Structure 1
């Protein structure tokens, strides 16, 4: 990116801020698209347990540089959560393509994820989370009695009676309602 630094702001190294600069874009096309000054904040942030140096560009001149970096950290957490949600619940193909259909499926997926997290917490580690997720993913779009399903497959107390491996979507003997 071609830019000119017009102001170097003081930084707080204790908060992980490396640079805080006000810039203007150099190219004619860029200046035409965005004539206002921008801000570049370079900070050391933690990603997956490692501290890395990242640069953020923003049009917010008023916030503290640490707030810009903190906002990124929060946004990153949201991105990771949705990635986990998509992978765990296989939320990539949609039943319908209207806005309402997609919203309904995302809300249902969030509910299944939340219920599964609660069930994993409530069982206090007596059953694996991946086993429970395989079970719920298989029946996510079916109508069933959750307690009956969990009891049938041994995830709600008693001996495990699961007839299939966790990665399989076939559970012989159980009929959804």
Structure 2
């Protein structure tokens, strides 16, 4: 069934139909109910085919929901790649928010520190250098310089190896 679409929007077509009974050689189709296909042209010019089992909502609403869902997917991909969060330590919304906030703060502090120095060009190399010197009290511009020996006190015994 072809449904009417607005000529001014980004919706190209809106159709309702059934999927084939067999999806592959020996695989049966789990969807025996009618599905809806909404074709949308996005900002880049690509055409997306969105399949949905919602037969009642307007096509514009389905496209808007998909767009918001895709923005959430991109955010979590960025979180995994940039903030290096592979899994969440808690299951509650508060635990996830706190873990993302802490990772964002650490990321921003690292970016600000990298912007202040000029000795290390690569962000990954700088992050590794900071991680290696995290417990040392040193200035950022002196992280690459070798550490000097601790000051010698005449009151402390020294061993000659």
Normalised to the residue count of structure 2, the TM-score between the two structures is 0.60
Q: CA RMSD in A?
A: 3.4
Say if 2:33 is the partner of 1:36.
Answer: yes
Provide the residue aligned with 2:129 in structure 1. 170
Rounded to whole Å, the distance in 2 between the matches of 1:103 and 1:162 is: 40
* Structure 1 counterpart of 2:111, from 116, 120, 131: 131
1:45–1:73 Cα contact (<8 Å) kept: no
Say if 2:50 is the partner of 1:73.
Answer: no
Runs of 4+ in structure 1 deviating by more than 6 angstroms, as ranges, are: none
Change (3 A) 1:89 1:10: same
Of Structure 1 and Structure 2, the greater helix share is in: 1
Larger Cα-atom Rg: 2
* Structure 1 counterpart of 2:19, from 1, 25, 28: 25
Say if 2:89 is the partner of 1:101.
Answer: yes
Q: How many residues align?
A: 125
Partner SS state of residue 81, structure 1: helix
2:83–2:104 Cα contact (<8 Å) kept: no
Deviation at 1:91, TM superposition (A): 2.3
Provide the residue aligned with 1:111 in structure 2. 101
Deviation at 1:12, TM superposition (A): 1.1
Provide the residue aligned with 1:90 in structure 2. 84
Deviation at 1:63, TM superposition (A): 0.7
Rounded to whole Å, the distance in 2 between the matches of 1:162 and 1:107 is: 33
Of Structure 1 and Structure 2, the greater strand share is in: 1
Q: Which runs of 5+ in 1 are unaligned?
A: 1-6, 95-99, 121-128, 133-152
Rounded to whole Å, the distance in 2 between the matches of 1:130 and 1:106 is: 21
1:41–1:55 Cα contact (<8 Å) kept: yes
Normalised to the residue count of structure 1, the TM-score between the two structures is 0.56
Say if 2:47 is the partner of 1:53.
Answer: yes
